[in-house]
Chain A
Amino acid sequence: MTGIKTSALLLSCTVSLASSVLLAQVQRPGEYPRGEKPSLMMSFFVTSEPVGDGGNLGGLAGADAHCQSLATAVGAGNRTWHAYLSTQARPEQPAVNARDRIGKGPWYNFKGEMIAQDLAHLHGDTMELAHRGNNLNKLTGLTEKGQIVPGLYDYSDPRDNDWDYAKATRFSTRHEMLTGTQTDGTAFTDGVDHTCDNWTSNKSPAPGTSNGNLNAADGRPNAQIGFPDRNGGGSGSWNSAHGTRGCAQADLPKTHGIGLYYCFASN
């Protein structure tokens, strides 16, 4: 009798175990895929790591170098990688449009899934294309290591807003991609900062000037961001949803970013 009970117990135990393991096999956001390597076609990724100095990426050159080194580390260094970032015009220095830096497409992610066919598809250049949208979403906006970027409410932990916490885990919300770009992929032409001073600034706003406002304003360090999970920020735009609380590394997690950005192979 006892033997039967024990067997029944063990059986139900095994069933629970099996079903739990099945459930656990779904790839959690932030988790590395098991035993998969990047597709040879990979020509798009989200950086798995930030540069780490807020909006100071070392300019476009520094940002590109970060893309290149992350790509190289996973065996995709044979392509020329550029960061999807704009810079704003300065005296005797014209603006640079993110969309002009990334080649012509099509671009494919870690799994070989197409993100967009061409520049017009990526940006929605016509009403029809804009309404349809590109193929960048939470499940395709993968890092060079194949991770899903933890998006809004994947990990609801108040500490997500704290860089000291976020830097020690892969499992905190971090879906804000630096772009410095308008929805059409071009640089802003107004006189206020949307690019953390062309990706050289790690400054916070002067005390009392931030006030939770995410819009760019005179004298306010700020970068425009978008979301690979198309989830949040008033529009779900992949490349131009809103600004940041500042340009210091610790400012970025306050709105669920850590300074990640998009990299595209330009060839």
Chain B
Amino acid sequence: MAEKHISKQLAHVVCTWMLASCLMLAQQSAPNTQGVTPPPGSPTPTPARMTFFVTSVGLGKGGDLGGLAGADAHCQALAAAVGAGGHTWHAYLSTQARPGQPAVNARDRIGTGPWFNWSFAQLGAPQNAIISADLAELHGDTLVQAQRGSNLFKQSTRNEHGEVIHGIGDTPPIQHEILTGSKWDGRAYMDNADHTCNNWTSSSTGSAQVGHSDRIGNGSSWNSSNATNGCSQAALESSGGAGLFYCFAVN
């Protein structure tokens, strides 16, 4: 009886030790890519300063966002939920021309900048809080700007909670494919192929152009790297997306 008791205790101890050391190992192995805890003495978070984020969740229906209006409302609701609803929020999405309905360019929907993310402000690193100074820098309108890139990169491209979007090399699910329906210059496609899941109303057929929040994959474009396999939620997820999109405050 005593012997059994001891062996059980031993099992307990061994197990706890194994688990603890494994957890430590796992902790070390996972790069710190989620929301970083602000260091002591950081400024108080000021949600109203945030004028850019990636949606923490999509609408769950693939490329059907309820059109631009539905997408904008999603931005607005997510922003409001974290205390940043004082701005007018627009989704960074283009729509393609239809009979009697001109194309809409994502870059024409987001104001003039500068745009700031939230978590870098929380971290007390204001020089890194800026996503981009203006439309030209964001889109690389000159060759030098295009070669340099904007300040939109993995650690600055965060959701409204200040969390980094899981990208290539992170633990799954990877969600780095961000819906844009746009060309590199932030404008709508002019050809007849579908690049916008039928102007953000299709959750089945069609395709959407996406960019990469971590700027990894088929080059390093944040807004126009490749097309999705389809418009269903499963199709978006099949290539490392989740139906997330960029939101910018226009004021």
In the assembled complex, which residues on chain A have CB atoms less than 8 Å from the CB atom of B128? 232, 234
| Minimum distance in angstroms from B34 CB to a CB of chain A | 10
Q: Which of B81-89, B102-110, B151-159 lies at the interface with chain A?
A: B151-159
Which of B12, B31, B171, B184 meets A132, CB within 8 Å? B184
The CA of A232 and the CA of B154, in the complex, are separated in Å by: 8
The CA of A154 and the CA of B127, in the complex, are separated in Å by: 19
Q: Mark A125-143, 1 if CB is under 8 A from B, else 0.
A: 0111011111111110000
Interface residues in A222-236 (C-beta closer than 8 Å to B): 229-232, 234-236
Contacts A230-B153, A236-B149 given: A13-B18 contact, CB under 8 Å? yes
In the assembled complex, which residues on chain B have CB atoms less than 8 Å from the CB atom of A241? 148
In the assembled complex, which residues on chain B have CB atoms less than 8 Å from the CB atom of A240? 147-148
Which of B14, B23, B33 meets A153, CB within 8 Å? B33
Complex contact B148–A20 (CB within 8 A): no
| Interface residue? B196 (CB, 8 A) | no
Complex contact A127–B215 (CB within 8 A): no
Which residue in chain A gives the minimum CB-CB distance to B7? A6
Which of B4, B14, B29, B169 meets A138, CB within 8 Å? B169
In the assembled complex, which residues on chain A have CB atoms less than 8 Å from the CB atom of B14? 13
| Interface residue? A10 (CB, 8 A) | yes
In the assembled complex, which residues on chain B have CB atoms less than 8 Å from the CB atom of A232? 128, 153, 155
In the assembled complex, which residues on chain A have CB atoms less than 8 Å from the CB atom of B216? 137-139, 230
A-B contact count (CB 8 A): 153
Contacts A5-B8, A24-B29, A153-B33 given: A237-B219 contact, CB under 8 Å? no
The CA of A234 and the CA of B29, in the complex, are separated in Å by: 27
| Interface residue? A21 (CB, 8 A) | yes
Complex contact A237–B155 (CB within 8 A): no
6 cross-chain pairs, A with B, having the tightest CB-CB distances, nearest first: A133-B220, A20-B22, A130-B146, A131-B184, A183-B147, A13-B15
Please list the residues of chain A having a beta carbon within 8 angstroms of any beta carbon in chain B.
Answer: 2-3, 5-6, 9-10, 12-13, 16-17, 20-21, 23-26, 28-29, 123-124, 126-128, 130-139, 148, 152-156, 183-184, 229-232, 234-237, 240-241
Can you list 21 A-B pairs, Cβ within 8 angstroms, ordered by A? Answer: A6-B11, A13-B14, A13-B15, A13-B19, A17-B22, A20-B25, A23-B29, A24-B29, A29-B31, A124-B146, A127-B140, A128-B184, A132-B225, A138-B169, A183-B148, A230-B215, A230-B220, A235-B148, A235-B151, A236-B150, A237-B148
